[in-house]
Structure 1
């Protein structure tokens, strides 16, 4: 049953008021041999990727996995060894005493339910993005994490890369001045990027637990396309916004410290992948961020295009009044472009329409009013940053999660941060499908 809006807002009032008052997580008891014992729930593409990244930290060991398709369970044993336990029922994972933390890598419509159940069973939680499928689900997850004292990290791992950390340092140092505009793209053009995932030949009601997959989604007859390509459907996923906008917004919030936009509008269409999906393959969102702390208001534009047949240049640009930061993946460029303090004249200015006598008179008055140092812009400076070759953002993200479990150290993307990134994403979908501007209170976490 979904939480009604009045109850949701009331929950958030309690959560946001109390979160600042006490530490978000409690220190846990020492674990045997200092290895964190993990289990992964959902062994699709991202499930295998997350599990491998977690194991690369050498801070954990894999105990068990759960998935609703038998073939993935068999493959997990091939990859990680016959010693791991496998099950279709995630609840069996949560009952295990030898599991300290779970990785929740299921379709989006299961994120909140399994997260809450796992936290209540005393498990630490790493949940893939977006944290929830619907805005009204966020309060309960945040409240449960706080009440149980367990560590929870949301899985938008890019922010744990060196380039994002360097961008954050530059912004905080004031190297681009006051931010006024941000744009970020994440286009794809190949079949995998359009979620046309392969469907195994043995997919059937015998090899797949279809009823559990549906969960609280509308009941329908077995359809392997919906099971293996769930991102294409609103019943189970969150579209391009939940898959890709979430990374862009998470990165911007990490770099700038922003809490979120207060006005969101999105538009788009289904341009190419007309395969029965009910989400767009092209989406653009415009967001207005309010003034916060030392930052002025700024605008942000996000774009995803799955029908792009041209070149793909996925970059984020953070523009300020003294320069800009452009970064993508493992590299970053800082361009310092500080303008002159005084306004100029000439060029496209009306100065050129004056008579010669008027021009001379204006120039003399201008030079008397503005000293030469205020009329000269600083030379353009360009500084490039390359992440170390061994930088592994995915591994780093898990290392932060595990350090939080072992030493109660700060989490990069806790539930409050995760929801502040997820809510604008979900508002993009609300704006797109309802064809309206969505107003959001990023401080108190509520629709207005």
Structure 2
């Protein structure tokens, strides 16, 4: 089946059910909009107890642990971090019996650890994940799953060989918003895809990676030599340890932190494997605190026509100097409308096309349909889908998806192949910015051209 015939089939099959799918639950006061609740029937049930360990107990490491512990049948048994203060805080909150070490390999030797959460800086993701898989542990690894494109296939091969479950932590992938957007696109709600754009902005110091530095930060409390053992040797620098995202030796900049979320959502919604051409512009506009990465970044990406979707273009923007206090969304545009996609909400906007439109008249003539002057009832131009009350969020569901896969010998929504295809264009965005050149990528075979 050709790509054009395939898309035509999807539209016809999908649009047949779109009317039932889009029946409004609640009507808004406006005549041209409707409102619907998003629901999920999936329940994450406990069948076997899973013992979790955290390697890298910073902000996201602990957020992941707390979210995992919201599920039944989860125990927290061990932690590794290179800063003494974090381990002390964890033992105070979770009990002195929590095993702790400054060496992650001690955690991997323990037989009572089933699942490892990797919340370290990016430059340790690959090696810890490979070592954990080789040790027979299931792995939840924060995005991006690697620090550079060249690391991707090593981790994918280790995962395939291990037979273990590995989930990459772009948690928005498991959101109700993404699921509804995927359904709407397949049903032809916005016509044929041709463009997408994403925006992720922040303004607060914490949002711009100005994380707090403890008063006791020193070589006595931080295992600095271990931290830098796989990168450039430097004297102790608390900024580079606690504000690591600002430095290329440890982090992956705005694209590795935030663009990767937008890539993950877009690829899930469109079934895409990724772009084949990447370029970036930006600059250090405000946060001149010694950081090595820009605080404004603009990325442009070309997606080739594939069996999963027509060719389209993507524009991504990120701003840490945003005086509007932050904006986040992914917009997907087609020939008949658009969707603004967030994790808890989708806003669908469509065009009301008159039969006087010459293109519509030509289509009707081709199909043997006689135009009529009689006026029609037009559908709403805007439909808002929102998560219903009590929705526990994408992060909860992301961990639940992994637990189900472990307990039922299943698969996860974001395995290392999916995770790498989302990470690679983000990392190549950095390469384009710093090298001032277009980057070419083979999304099918996952390699730089």
State TM-score, norm by structure 1. 0.84
Greater displacement, 32-41 / 272-281:
32-41
**Helix, strand or coil: the match of 1:133?**
coil
CA distance in 1, matches of 2:351, 2:60: 40
Aligned to 1:409: 410
Aligned to 2:207: 193
CA distance in 2, matches of 1:200, 1:184: 35
Aligned to 1:290: 304
| Aligned-residue offset at 1:176 | 1.3
Aligned to 2:194: 180
Aligned to 1:390: 390
| Aligned-residue offset at 1:81 | 2.1
**Helix, strand or coil: the match of 2:160?**
helix
Aligned to 2:381: 381
Aligned to 1:426: 427
Q: Do 2:165 and 2:411's aligned partners in 1 also have CA atoms closer than 8 Å? A: no
1:247 is matched with which residue: 255, 258, 261?
A: 261
| Aligned-residue offset at 1:145 | 0.5
Q: Do 1:41 and 1:67's aligned partners in 2 also have CA atoms closer than 8 Å? A: yes
Aligned to 1:9: none
| Aligned-residue offset at 1:370 | 10
Aligned to 2:240: 226
CA distance in 2, matches of 1:159, 1:81: 33
Aligned to 1:127: 141
| Aligned-residue offset at 1:178 | 1.0
Q: Deviations over 1:399-424 (max 9, x none)?
A: 11111111022201000000000000
Within the alignment, does 1:142 sit opposite 2:143 as a pair?
Answer: no
Superposed CA RMSD in Å reads: 2.2
Assess, with a 3 A threshold, how the Cα gap between structure 1 residues 48 and 214 changes in structure 2: closer, same or farther. same
Q: Deviations over 1:415-448 (max 9, x none)?
A: 0000000000001000000000101010011111
Which blocks of at least 5 consecutive residues in structure 2 are unaligned?
1-45, 360-364
CA distance in 2, matches of 1:434, 1:178: 34
**Helix, strand or coil: the match of 2:293?**
coil
Aligned to 1:267: 281
Q: Do 1:344 and 1:375's aligned partners in 2 also have CA atoms closer than 8 Å? A: no
Q: Deviations over 1:133-155 (max 9, x none)?
A: 10010001000100110100000
Which blocks of at least 5 consecutive residues in structure 1 are unaligned?
1-31, 346-365
CA distance in 2, matches of 1:376, 1:114: 65
Aligned to 1:350: none
| Aligned-residue offset at 1:390 | 2.3
| Aligned-residue offset at 1:310 | 2.8
CA distance in 1, matches of 2:260, 2:328: 14
Aligned to 2:124: 110
Q: Do 2:204 and 2:325's aligned partners in 1 also have CA atoms closer than 8 Å? A: no
Assess, with a 3 A threshold, how the Cα gap between structure 1 residues 374 and 179 changes in structure 2: closer, same or farther. farther
CA distance in 2, matches of 1:247, 1:81: 34
| Aligned-residue offset at 1:243 | 0.5
**Helix, strand or coil: the match of 1:291?**
coil
Assess, with a 3 A threshold, how the Cα gap between structure 1 residues 86 and 284 changes in structure 2: closer, same or farther. same
Q: Deviations over 1:64-84 (max 9, x none)?
A: 010000000011112222221
| Aligned-residue offset at 1:335 | 1.5
**Helix, strand or coil: the match of 2:221?**
coil
The number of residue pairs the alignment matches comes to 395
CA distance in 2, matches of 1:442, 1:247: 17
1:12-161 matches, within 5 Å, as 34-161=48-175
Assess, with a 3 A threshold, how the Cα gap between structure 1 residues 112 and 338 changes in structure 2: closer, same or farther. farther
CA distance in 2, matches of 1:192, 1:374: 59
Greater displacement, 65-74 / 171-180:
171-180
State TM-score, norm by structure 2. 0.84
1:286-435 matches, within 5 Å, as 286-337=300-351, 339=353, 343-344=357-358, 372=371, 379-391=379-391, 392-435=393-436
